Chain A
Amino acid sequence: MAFEASPATPAMAIPSGSDGKPPSLGYNSFEPRALWNLILTLGLWAVAALGATPLLSVLYMLIVKGGARLNGELFTELPPAGFEMGGGIGNAIQGTLVTVAIASLISIPIALFAAIYLAELRPLSRISSVARFLAKVLTGFPSILAGVFVYAAVVLLMGSYSALAGGVALAVLMLPTITLTAEGAMHMVPQRMKDAAIGMGCTNTQVVWSVTLPTALPSIVTGIILAVARVAGESAPLLFTALFSNYWLRNITEPTASLSILIYNFSSMPFDNQIELAWAASLVLVMIVLGFNILSRFIGRPQV
């Protein structure tokens, strides 16, 4: 051994040459630092594999257990009662779609206007910095609190649980995410493009409408789809706003079923039929959510 490399004192590893022996430049796998390298690398691979297993397990269970009940009846029938056999989750699918649609209708316009204000009209104003900060805080807001809030603000006011209240609760969750992603997308539009429009004498509205929005559109749509995907899987905000129902939804002022609440309710039932339906509902829900995610990737980023 010409020299001992010590990670603690690397300076000592510099061959001085004064002792006359040339340094060895070959690999030495028994050196402590090489050994450590190997151990850490193997450990990291193990941890990474561990991190990926749950997803594979979840997908496996969804396909095997949920796939078993994936048939036409699932989509057209109402949920079965206690000892009943068969049945489906039709009204839950309907309810999820309706509440998410209500949430989108409420939150998307507000969020886009807010984002335009934050990114384009008054980016440095006090209102903008406060709104931006609160939006960031709201994104980390426990989703069940949206339910608690909407219970107090809408359910008590209207006197009943309803699909509308569920939609409002989901809208509370969507608003800050869409605002922030849309603001970011508008920031990505190069300033020189906006300068060109301003230099031609565009009003603020014209700059936003004809340059910023069209250019940022793909990213904005991506953000919206991801927000929709996220709330489609939410259950806590619906627990005591939309509640649940065993029937088809006819009016948005009535309570409604939803996939997530159906899964929650059925998961604790002592009947195999309901458990199977919970898995099937999970499969449908995950397909909806992942479908939106994949869609957002296709729409992709802006071509600037």
Chain B
Amino acid sequence: MAFQLVLPDSKSVSQAPSPLAYAVDRTFFYAAAAGALAIILLVIYILWEIGGQALPAIGRSGASVLVNTQWDVQNSSFGILPQIWGTLYSSLMALLIGGFIGVSIAIFLTQDFLPHSLATVFRTLIEMLAAIPSVVFGLWGIFVVIPFVRPAADWLHDAAGFIPFFSTSLSGPGMLPAVIVLSIMILPTVAAISQDAIGLVPYKIKEAAYGLGATRWEAILKVILPTASGGISSALVLGFGRALGETMALAMLIGNANQISLSLFSPATTLAALLASNFPEAGAIERQALMYAALVLLAITLVVNVAGTLILLWTSRKMAKA
């Protein structure tokens, strides 16, 4: 890059960048490219490490792990069906509750139910919820949620124990407190992304609905939510993804019992909770099985997150065209 322009007049101070500037420029470029590559390599390395460590376990038991219900270290029988069940069940329930509340709050904050300044305060409160660490929610769940729901749970079990959801009594940690805390934890995610999605609905569409004589709720339910449905679905999918990977609060609240039950009051377990409670003390063989469990968790969340990201990309492209 020794190119120099030779000029007849020399009043100008213009000159080519110094060799040093060129060297810096090139180094800078490679450093930046290395940074971008680092992200790609990191993901590959993560898959390779976890996959590699899980390989012996995969070779030993193959897909049978996915249907085996025993986690028995003595007999080297490692099944994770209860964990998969618990992960999906708790996350789905949390999605039902947290998703409903989250979308409701998004409507509440965007459709002029509150004066602007109050809406800002409320939004900040919900955002603060997202900042509370998982372990703190766990602690709160143990000392506030469990004592609080226990009387109601006992009453439901006595009065309606024939319904599978209430078929056991709540003796402390269990699915219900876990689901409640999990719902609270995904609520801010759902609320934030849904607010963005609703914010993207052009004002003229809302105007058109009012112009046709729709009431506020008719406009919300029949025009605004359907228009924002793509963004709201991705909010729900990403909230679900968050719930699937949540570890500590669940490990503290779900009871870590290796069983499959529909009952909201019985203790259960999840993949992340299994990792959290067994990994530190595991021997070599068990650790390989845990790596396999980690791989399954990775696969589930990957599918869900990629789906959520794609929906978000796809709908924002569609909205940009509209």
Contact = CB atoms under 8 A, between A and B. Distances in A.
Contacts of A112: 35
B151 interface: no
Interface string B18-43: 00011011001101111111111011
B245 interface: yes
Contact of A57 (B33, B140, B275, B309): B140
Pick the most buried of B17, B39, B53: most chain A CB atoms within 10 A of its CB. B39
8 contacts: A47-B104, A51-B187, A136-B305, A140-B301, A236-B134, A282-B136, A286-B132, A286-B133
Contacts of A141: 245, 298, 301, 305
Given A142-B246, A233-B134, A153 B113 contact: no
Interface in A101-125: 109-118, 121-122
A268 interface: yes
Interface string B134-155: 1111111011100000000000
B85 interface: no
B125 interface: yes
Interface of B: 14, 17, 21-22, 24-25, 28-29, 31-40, 42-43, 45-46, 49-50, 52-53, 100-102, 104-105, 107-108, 113, 122, 125-129, 131-140, 142-144, 184, 187, 191, 212-218, 238, 241-242, 244-248, 251-252, 272, 275-276, 279-280, 290-291, 294, 297-298, 301-302, 304-306, 308-309
Interface in A201-229: 201, 203-206, 208, 229
B132 to A, nearest CB: 6
Contact of A61 (B31, B144, B302): B144
B46 A235 contact: no
Contact of A51 (B35, B39, B126, B144): B126
Contacts of B297: 142, 144-145
B136 A142 contact: no
B245 A149 contact: no
Contacts of B191: 51
Given A111-B35, A289-B131, A205 B245 contact: no
A5 to B, nearest CB: 8
Given A117-B33, A203-B25, A134 B139 contact: no
Chain A: interface residue count, which band? Answer: 35 or more
Given A114-B32, A236-B272, A264-B138, A44 B37 contact: no
A13 B127 CA distance: 43
B216 A37 contact: yes
A235 B272 CA distance: 12
B31 to A, nearest CB: 5
A264 B135 contact: yes
Contacts of B212: 10
Interface of A: 5, 7, 10, 13, 33-34, 36-37, 40-41, 44-45, 47-48, 50-52, 54-55, 57-58, 61-62, 65, 109-118, 121-122, 127-128, 130-131, 133-138, 140-145, 147-149, 151-153, 172, 175-176, 179, 201, 203-206, 208, 229-230, 232-236, 239-240, 243, 260, 263-264, 267-268, 275, 278-279, 282, 285-286, 289-290, 293
A48 B122 contact: yes
Given A145-B297, A176-B39, A289-B133, A37 B32 contact: no
B245 A143 contact: yes
A114 B139 contact: no
A114 B29 CA distance: 10
A201 B279 contact: no
A30 to B, nearest CB: 14
B272 A201 contact: no
Nearest to A120: B32
Nearest to B32: A117
Contacts of A130: 40
Given A140-B241, A264-B251, 4 more contacts: A57-B144, A58-B140, A144-B247, A263-B136
Contacts, number: 267
Contacts of B216: 37, 41
A117 B22 CA distance: 17
Given A41-B113, A152-B53, A48 B104 contact: yes
A248 to B, nearest CB: 22
B22 A144 contact: no
A177 to B, nearest CB: 12
Q: Which 5 A-B pairs have the closest CB atoms?
A: A142-B245, A233-B133, A113-B35, A114-B35, A140-B305
Contacts of B251: 264
B133 A113 contact: no
B39 A204 contact: no
Contacts of B38: 110, 114, 175
A185 B263 CA distance: 47
A128 B35 CA distance: 10
Given A145-B50, A282-B139, A239 B280 contact: yes
Nearest to B300: A142
Given A44-B108, A134-B43, A52 B126 contact: yes
Contact of B218 (A7, A152, A153, A278): A7
Given A37-B217, A138-B43, A263-B135, A205 B309 contact: no
Nearest to A60: B144
A136 B25 CA distance: 28
A153 B45 contact: yes
A208 B214 CA distance: 51
Nearest to A38: B217
Nearest to A208: B28
A243 B105 CA distance: 38
Contact of B138 (A118, A267, A290): A267
